[in-house]
Structure 1
């Protein structure tokens, strides 16, 4: 079943010039890049995007990190793309992410308050619909 998902290349991925490589990996997996935007996110969009984390200790450092530079927002389509991109990205902690994944190959723990882990991918069809509506309104 063809799905759509939101992929964000976070400020660390953009700053480290990994956008092209990340897009290449998405396309190499056979997924379609439906829409791509480079944006400087605003706090209100990030607050809505991360609403479920509000009040948690990492919330404010995460929002500040996401405000620290441009983000590439991508609407990606394909069969089982939500699950597939999450496998392609690797586990949240880049130190533990498997080689061959985006985080496993390019991520590391920088010893900061919030994990700078290069990419975000929606975790469910419901999240994908909500997140795509935020970033591609």
Structure 2
């Protein structure tokens, strides 16, 4: 089934000029970039995006990190995109990520793990509408 997912190439990866390399990883497995934009996000947008984490110990650090510098928001599309992307991204903690995954190659630590991806079709719809309202 063809699906769409939101990908955020996070500030740590943008700062290290990894956007092209990360997009290439997705394109190599047959995913297509449907939309893309760069922006500095506000705390308001960040808190809306990460609302499910509010109140958790790492929340304030996450908001500070995601708003520190530009990120690259992307819509990817392809057959079984959600599961393909999540497998390619690897474990949230780069130290536990599998060889061959984006986070293993490019992630720094649990916070600076270079990418975000929607975790379900429903989440993707919500996130895409938030990041790409048009």
Question: Which TM-score band (shorter chain)?
Answer: over 0.9
Equivalent residue, structure 2, for 1:104: 104
Equivalent residue, structure 1, for 2:124: 128
Which string of whole-angstrom CA distances, capped at 9 and with x for unpartnered residues, describes residues 65-122 of structure 1?
A: 000110000000001101110110110000111111001112233xxxx621000000
TM-score by length of 1: 0.94
CA distance in 2, matches of 1:136, 1:42: 15
CA distance in 2, matches of 1:23, 1:66: 19
CA distance in 2, matches of 1:64, 1:29: 32
Equivalent residue, structure 2, for 1:56: 56
Deviation beyond 6 Å, 4+ runs, structure 1:
none
Moved more, 68-77 or 40-49: 40-49
- CA-CA distance at 1:47 after TM superposition: 1.1
Matches within 5 A, 1:80-91: 80-91=80-91
TM-score by length of 2: 0.96
RMSD (Å) for aligned C-alpha atoms: 0.9
Which string of whole-angstrom CA distances, capped at 9 and with x for unpartnered residues, describes residues 26-71 of structure 1?
A: 1111001000100111111111111111111111110000001100
- CA-CA distance at 1:21 after TM superposition: 0.2
CA distance in 1, matches of 2:111, 2:42: 20
